[in-house]
Structure 1
């Protein structure tokens, strides 16, 4: 497996070793021992999530102000542009974002530690996203930052307005959002 450090500390891209031939492929999407030794992730994952979304659906930017979740994100079908925003006030990259193309073909995984907002937009006809989390979903602590916040200026690769949930339409501006110490 290859680990790529992004411009934001601890935000990592993981390229697993893929074994493939004309029959298909196999890879370990997660191995606790290897993730600790090779990636340095010493987290206990407590929940697996699987979502399916249509083209141009944008989900996010979500985070939990208490019980913050680290996420190990990958795509099983289709493609997304995945975004993480650093909400750790003590971080030198506070309020900076990183975007990553995750596809079923490139098999990349995106490690988003606790303290980040997360979102993605679907680029293919349909996409299935799978991600492990380090804490349980706690809707009472969930917060949403507006996907098109002008202070973030995320360069979403879209040619038309995204399809949003009511929750995502009502997201807050970053300047009004609760953040982490």
Structure 2
């Protein structure tokens, strides 16, 4: 499946494995969290990068021990109205995780800017929307109202932009 990453459409070169799929000898693999728990020792010896599919029913604290070894975390969106992966993404970024964080599943182009603000940096895109729609969505907003935790290059918040050249505001005593 193609990916939207860094404002471009690219091919996903990760091999996604299920719970029982045989592990290839080499290459970048992404496995379900249950398999990561079960086969951690053999997965760390794999010749290639390691990623995990972390469902929105799991808690980030359970993943923290594995974070230094993970090059990719995939957070699935079972439906576009299920926002639990937004919270997980922000929590994962707050732990200091700085590698790829991918949104997968039922992701819509109009959600991309919000997802960027909480820390996602790649998105699985299906054939429901054209590549042009996804690219336009990735460039649509360069300003955010909230001061987000995670910023993409060139993204700023409205308050900072409005007050970039202003003198610092000094607290004034209240009348009365």
| TM-score using structure 1 length | 0.26
Q: Taking CA–CA contacts closer than 8 Å with sequence separation of 6 or more, which of the two structures ends up with the larger relative contact order?
A: 1
| TM-score using structure 2 length | 0.26
